[in-house]
Amino acid sequence: ITFTKKAAQEMRDRVRKALEQRLSNASMDMQDVWAARMGAMESARIDTIHGLCASILRANAAEVGVDPGFEVMDEVDARILLDDSIDDVLQAVAHEGGATIQLFTEYDTQLIRQTLAKLIAEDIPALPEDLLAHWQQIWETNATNRITELRDHQPYIAASRWQPASGWPTNGDKLMDMWASCHALLEIVGSSEDTQLCLEALEKLGILSWVGGSASIWGSKEILDESKATLKTLREIVRATLAAVGEPLGTIDHKAATLLPLWATLIQQAQAVYQSRKQEDGLLDFNDLERLTRDLLVNNPTVRERYQGAEFKHLLVDEFQDTNAVQWEIVRGLADIEQGGSLFVVGDPKQSIYQFRGADVSVFEQVKGQIRQAGGGDVPLSDSFRTHHSLVNGFNHIFGQILVRDAGNRARDYEVELGELMLARRIDAPCDAAPIEVLYIDKNLSEEKMDAEASRRWEAYELAKRLKAIVEDEKRPIYDKGQRSIRPINYGDIAILYQSMSNILLYEDVFKAAQMPFVTVAGRGYYSRQEVWDLLNLLTALHNPADNLALASALRSPLFSLSDDALLALRLYRDPQDAHKRLPLFEALGQSIEIAIDEQEQINFAHQCLTRLQAMAGRVPIADLLQASLDETGYLATLTGLPDGARRRGNVEKLIDKAQESRQVTLGAFSQYLHDLTTREVREGEALVDVKDSVTLMTVHASKGLEYPLVVLVDIGWSKGNFGGDAVMLDPVYGLVCKVYDADEEKIVSGYSHKQAETLQNLREVAERKRLLYVAATRAQDYLLLSGQTLKSSKDTWLSWISTALELGEALVPGVATVERSWGKLHIRVPEHPPTDTTFDETEGYSASLWSNPDVQRMTPLPGDNQAPLTANIQIQASSAIRHMTATQIADAGGARIDPLFRQRFRRDVLHDAPLTIDQVSLRTPREVSQRIIGEMVHKVLGWWQFQEDGHDFDDKLDSYAWELGVVDEGQRKYAIQEAHKLISKMRNNPVFDWLKEAQQIYREIPFVYRSDKRIIHGILDVLFQRQDGSWVVLDYKTSHIKGYKAGGDEKLLSNHALRYHLQIGVYGAAVQEQLGGIVPETYIYYIRYGQYVRVSTAEWTEALGRLEATIGDLLTEQAD
């Protein structure tokens, strides 16, 4: 049993080759034996786990209750059918109602859809009858266990028993008083059997302070400092224990206990519909294959006995570290481990890196224990046939410290140990160069502040320079396994491995500028290529001509090359039948527009071309539609003339190949096909142009099973980040758990069970990232280069683990050094300063005036591999996708460093272009209309209000606003109107009201555009007014909730909350300043809910605006997954 078709075929080939070898060397009397075995090879049972399951199910179709002619869906077809099934379920809930409709008042529809898609294949366990009592018992048990572990925790014991070398002071001071209190609390924790009493003592220990203290009283400054440091250590240990215990159950948990049964019901409904749809068409997916085979072998002894020790006498399972509990049950059903020789599993738990695909490394250790208990053997394969002695020593040293099992870790079952040290079969290194090298970027050495993107570009530049030096200058020797000899290294001998491909385009840009040959063989970056986007936008416009954005993108691209002026003229063109209405962009193409003749000709061509192509859309396969588009527009010829044209053209041809493979006709199905390709693989690679002698860029997952003479682990300071788990999770310990909506926080939040499940998930992911580092490093045959920079303080990054293991610390100083360690040589490079900005200019070799170059005019070839450009070179900056931004996006960017919610919202909106959330129809009781909705109603009013609220018209408008915001119940709307009047009354009593009444001029809802060097920001300004003294004021309304603040309360809470809006206010202020000819306006934020305002000084918003690019850069480079 293997886990991939490729591995199964490779196994077949190896067995066949071994048989051929035996036959050729056999004596005359044994040749017939080996010839017979060769002939039997075709019937050998060598297959994937899913192939084996399919054959067993077909052979036992009657017992299972399936059609023996069933088809197995691939992952893409399964996902399309799954989405259709979820649509059916959601529509049924909407039309028929039922208890589960309550979920739609608590969660966004897209979140519900994603949850169903993720959990539909899972076996959802029955929920306890009393969830709250169940969680309470877990909480109490967990608290007791954590306190017990704390009592045995050596650092805690050492800190709690600490005493000054000179004895405790006889004269007290503040610090001694703190220790006296501390000792009393420690006595409670150490001896009390009352868990609640211990927790109360820990809460007090968790707020310890070490302020004060006199060196003369304590005997010396050293003892005083040691006393304070011990208290600090004690507090940190206690806080970690309290965090592990978790907060006691509260209102959020009560709400979760109400919603979880509804989630379980909805998931079961979706499972039933999906299962029914599959049965109708005689289909099974991969999960069905495993589940049905497991159930057959576990529940049917007759079938099990037919296989165990009979049809299958010997079972070998390869790559066993990538298995899961269900697959292990299948294996146990086929092999009796009590019978010697029946089962042989091969695997390395250190290489288990597919948790996201369902692999469970804890199964490996459990099975190993069961096999040992049954008298089986455990054979460690510690010999390395890949790497030489010096590098193996380095690996043993590094991973002997990183791969350890922490007895105090709640996810210790998912941690692995290095185990027996590796031994190198190849003793000698190719040369005396250090086998491990560290390239560290210290952005503090830069004279200017560097954001994450800039430091990565610096790293990419230094890395390219270093690799070119190794290949071209050093000609460093490597061992060629094929030739079994030493030779100079080539670029094709190098692999650069990434943990995440989110920043791959940035590195590629710098590598191109450095003229370092490379090829990216796997990754999501393919679908980020501009030429791919051009065609996907064209497909979208052909299938939905009303999509103005997709059509405008296609028209502006080299497909049609319309200018900005032409696009604007088309978009502003009004309907001849209704002057107040603008024509959709597609219809405007067919009109005669006042514009330059050559532009009109291009518009006419685009209209004719699109009309012909639209007639084909939905009637021919996507591949044919794409090919027709290329024929009509000459797009491939245009791309060929651009710099990097061969690669661009290859990407387009690859898209056509994908379309042909999909055999899809509708855009929706093709889009789903592309989506699942990128989900199934870590990253979809660019088309390969010429891979000979090029550095290979790939993910660690894609590199598994491969090896390279020189391996580079890049961006080792990258941190995945922790933005919380899914809204609904199925945890092996806590079962089904969910987040719930908190009206005060105005977002979904975690209760006790969900927080605990999140914690365990994060611990499991950290353990897997350590294993991922092991897999990445051990791809190296001769040399390992570790490259990165510290992006944020985190203990759980490759850089932090490596730094500790290699004792980098004080060694990371500017310059180049080779240091001796106990295991061998370590080479360290810390560049002293970043390169100039022009170093990164990919287009330096191309000039806008290239045609005027004398060499070009004489048709003399230019140095290098240059082609005459058909058009000016297109230079795409790393963040060009967000050159245009809205004021709302700027507000989210400004708040990102304060609240992770803003960070997630910014990345989702900007990077994924997700649609805004559509508010659900409110089913709350009359007094459950959220304050956010009421605040939004008042916000709308303030856009036109002339300070009078008399008469029915005013209330009618408030009523219509409530309806627009999703409040359809009449009682709710009346309540909302009453509350809105209260907020307006608050404003009447605020100085802001008097400012507006006395203003010389007032402008409301003003559209604006602000241009910086790299951004064009547009939006709507709430209010701009001029005082009697001639000064100008910008006033921005906010409906935000401020946790803990009550009207008339702590003003500091208001000003602290306003910090997240300083960047947005800065954009407003700068835009107004520009329009007023340099006059700097005053800027204020008015909080509608509280009737309070905050002034943002010019210095404050200027400082925030100065950090605009750094803020955006950090958000683009960090991870939200």
SS (H, E, C) 969-1029: CHHHHHHHHHHHHHHHHHHHCCHHHHHHHHCCEEEEEEEEEEECCCCEEEEEEEEEEECCC
The yes-or-no verdict on residue 922 having pLDDT over 60 is no
Instruction: Verify that 604 and 460 share a domain, yes or no.
Output: no
pLDDT, one tens digit per residue, over 190-217 is 999 999 999 999 999 998 887 788 888 8
Helix (H, G, I), strand (E, B), or coil: what is residue 547? coil
Q: Give the mean pLDDT of 164-172.
A: 85
One-letter amino acid identity for 531? E
Burial grade of 373 (CB within 10 A; 0-12, 13-18, 19 or more): exposed
Report yes or no: 797 and 719 within 8 Å, Cβ to Cβ.
yes
Q: Last residue of a domain, which of 222, 245, 268? A: 245
Report yes or no: 534 and 558 within 8 Å, Cβ to Cβ.
yes
Q: How far is CA 836 from the centre of its chain?
A: 31
pLDDT score for 79: 80
Q: Give the mean pLDDT of 1072-1084.
A: 90
Does some domain include residue 298?
no
Q: Which of 513, 510, 517 is nearest to 494 (CA)?
A: 517
Q: Strands, DSSP E only, in 690-833?
A: 695-699, 708-713, 728-731, 735-738, 740-742, 747-749, 780-789, 815-821, 824-830
pLDDT score for 730: 93
The yes-or-no verdict on residue 673 having pLDDT over 70 is no
Q: How would residue 291 be classed by pLDDT, with cut points 50, 70 and 90?
A: very high
The yes-or-no verdict on residue 363 having pLDDT over 60 is yes
Q: Give the mean pLDDT of 604-629.
A: 87
pLDDT score for 888: 82
φ, ψ dihedrals at 422, nearest 5°: -70, 145
Among 100-114, 260-274, 289-303, 455-469, the minimum mean pLDDT is found in: 100-114
The yes-or-no verdict on residue 839 having pLDDT over 80 is no
Number of domains in the chain: 5
The yes-or-no verdict on residue 924 having pLDDT over 80 is no
Does some domain include residue 797?
yes
Q: How would residue 579 be classed by pLDDT, with cut points 50, 70 and 90?
A: confident
Report yes or no: 1115 and 453 within 8 Å, Cβ to Cβ.
no
Among 19-28, 527-536, 735-744, the minimum mean pLDDT is found in: 527-536
Share of the chain above pLDDT 70, in %: 87
Instruction: Verify that 537 and 517 share a domain, yes or no.
Output: no
Report yes or no: 1006 and 1017 within 8 Å, Cβ to Cβ.
no
What CA–CA distance (Å, rounded) separates 467 from 514? 11
pLDDT score for 908: 64
More confident residue, 892 or 478: 478
The CATH number for 559's domain is 1.10.486.10
What CA–CA distance (Å, rounded) separates 707 from 710? 9
The yes-or-no verdict on residue 853 having pLDDT over 90 is no
Instruction: Verify that 468 and 535 share a domain, yes or no.
Output: no
Does some domain include residue 183?
yes
pLDDT score for 1050: 74
Q: Give the mean pLDDT of 321-328.
A: 92
Q: How would residue 881 be classed by pLDDT, with cut points 50, 70 and 90?
A: very low
pLDDT, one tens digit per residue, over 372-387 is 999 999 999 999 999 9
The yes-or-no verdict on residue 764 having pLDDT over 80 is yes
In the numeric block, which tokens belong to residue 1009? 């555009």
CB atoms within 10 A of CB 458: 24
Instruction: Verify that 550 and 669 share a domain, yes or no.
Output: yes
pLDDT score for 478: 96
What CA–CA distance (Å, rounded) separates 374 from 860? 79
Residues in contact with 10: Cβ distance below 8 Å, sequence separation at least 6, in sequence order: none
Q: Last residue of a domain, which of 629, 650, 680? A: 680
Share of the chain above pLDDT 90, in %: 44
> Look-up: residue for tokens 């405008």?
552
pLDDT, one tens digit per residue, over 52-103 is 999 999 999 999 999 888 988 877 678 878 888 999 999 999 888 889 999 9
pLDDT score for 326: 93
* Dmax (CA) of the chain: 115
Instruction: Verify that 141 and 116 share a domain, yes or no.
Output: no
pLDDT, one tens digit per residue, over 32-42 is 899 888 888 87
Instruction: Verify that 102 and 169 share a domain, yes or no.
Output: no
Strands 423-426 and 1032-1038: unpaired
Q: Last residue of a domain, which of 223, 245, 267? A: 245
What CA–CA distance (Å, rounded) separates 396 from 434? 16
pLDDT score for 642: 72
Q: Strands, DSSP E only, in 700-823?
A: 708-713, 728-731, 735-738, 740-742, 747-749, 780-789, 815-821
What CA–CA distance (Å, rounded) separates 656 from 397? 49
DSSP string, 257-292: HHHHHHHHHHHHHHHHHHHHHHHHHTEE-HHHHHHH
Residues in the chain: 1121
The yes-or-no verdict on residue 918 having pLDDT over 90 is no
What CA–CA distance (Å, rounded) separates 37 from 28? 15
Instruction: Verify that 173 and 258 share a domain, yes or no.
Output: no
One-letter amino acid identity for 338? E
Q: Strands, DSSP E only, in 23-147?
A: 71-72
Look at phi and psi of residue 708 and say left if phi exceeds 0, alpha if psi is from -120 to 50, else beta.
beta
Does some domain include residue 950?
yes
CB atoms within 10 A of CB 381: 10
The CATH number for 964's domain is 3.90.320
Q: How would residue 1075 be classed by pLDDT, with cut points 50, 70 and 90?
A: confident
What CA–CA distance (Å, rounded) separates 274 from 84? 8
With b for 16 or more beta-carbon neighbours within 10 A and e for fewer, the 1035-1065 pattern comes to bbbbbbbbeebeeeeeeeebeebbbbbbbbb
pLDDT score for 914: 37
Instruction: Verify that 786 and 700 share a domain, yes or no.
Output: yes
The yes-or-no verdict on residue 141 having pLDDT over 50 is yes
What CA–CA distance (Å, rounded) separates 664 from 91? 25
pLDDT score for 880: 43
Instruction: Verify that 105 and 138 share a domain, yes or no.
Output: no
Query: How high is the mean pLDDT of the chain?
Result: 84
pLDDT score for 362: 92
Residues in contact with 30: Cβ distance below 8 Å, sequence separation at least 6, in sequence order: none
The yes-or-no verdict on residue 1080 having pLDDT over 50 is yes
Q: Looking at the whole model, is its pTM more than 0.75?
A: no
pLDDT, one tens digit per residue, over 633-667 is 888 888 877 766 776 787 788 788 777 766 666 66
Instruction: Verify that 224 and 260 share a domain, yes or no.
Output: no
Q: Which domain holds residue 176?
A: 131-245
The yes-or-no verdict on residue 850 having pLDDT over 60 is no
More confident residue, 902 or 775: 775
Does some domain include residue 863?
no
Does some domain include residue 687?
no
Among 323-327, 446-450, 1094-1098, the minimum mean pLDDT is found in: 446-450
Q: Give the mean pLDDT of 1007-1031.
A: 84
The yes-or-no verdict on residue 878 having pLDDT over 60 is no
Report yes or no: 336 and 313 within 8 Å, Cβ to Cβ.
no
pLDDT score for 345: 95
pLDDT score for 721: 64
Most confident of 280-284, 434-438, 499-503: 434-438
More confident residue, 1120 or 449: 449
Instruction: Verify that 237 and 254 share a domain, yes or no.
Output: no
The yes-or-no verdict on residue 252 having pLDDT over 90 is yes
Does some domain include residue 726?
yes
Q: How would residue 916 be classed by pLDDT, with cut points 50, 70 and 90?
A: very low
Among 89-103, 863-877, 993-1007, 1024-1038, the minimum mean pLDDT is found in: 863-877
Most confident of 335-349, 937-951, 982-996: 335-349
What CA–CA distance (Å, rounded) separates 242 from 890? 37
Does some domain include residue 354?
no
Alpha carbon dihedral 1011, 1012, 1018, 1020, in 10-degree steps, equals: -90
Q: Which of 366, 360, 240 is nearest to 768 (CA)?
A: 360
Instruction: Verify that 703 and 741 share a domain, yes or no.
Output: yes
Q: How would residue 1015 be classed by pLDDT, with cut points 50, 70 and 90?
A: confident
Distances (CA, A) of 841 to 142, 461, 513: 57, 11, 6
